[in-house]
Structure 1
Amino acid sequence: MNTHPLRWDALVFGVLFALVLVGWALLTYDLASVDGLAVAGLVTLIVAGLAGIALTLRRTS
């Protein structure tokens, strides 16, 4: 059995799709508000951006 290299683009889009699905489910079952999900989404994107910058700086150093 051959192993395939990890495709980062597929992993990122899969995680984003899963987050959208979880957000939709939370709104559908009234477990979260739109404002709460907006803040959580912004925090998630900021953390992901900082992680990307940190990984880029680590790779070039």
Structure 2
Amino acid sequence: MNTHPVRWDALVFGVLFALVVAAWAALFHGWVTVENLVVAGPVALIVAGIAGIALTLRSSNS
């Protein structure tokens, strides 16, 4: 079996899509409010951006 390299763009967009679906489901079922999502969305994007920068710096130093 051949292994293929990871496509980071597909992984990032897949995770973002999963987060959007999870937020919609949580909102639909009443587990969270819109006010909570207004805060959680930008926080999740900031954390993802910091992780992306860290991974970029790590791969450029190797």
**Bin of the TM-score, shorter chain as denominator length:** 0.7 to 0.9
Amino acid at match of 1:39: V
What does 1:1-61 correspond to in 2, within 5 Å? Answer: 1-61=1-61
Cα distance in 1, alignment partners of residues 17 and 60 from structure 2: 30
| TM-score, normalising length: structure 1 | 0.85
Cα distance in 2, alignment partners of residues 55 and 30 from structure 1: 35
Structure 1 segments, 4+ long, off by >4 Å, are none
Q: How many residues align?
A: 61
58 and 4 in structure 1: CA distance in 2 versus 1, 3 angstrom threshold: closer
Cα distance in 2, alignment partners of residues 48 and 55 from structure 1: 10
Give unmatched runs, 5+ long, in structure 2.
none
| TM-score, normalising length: structure 2 | 0.84
- What SS does structure 2 have at the residue aligned with 1:6? coil
Deviations 1:5-58 (A, max 9, x none): 100011001100100010010111111011101211111111111122223333
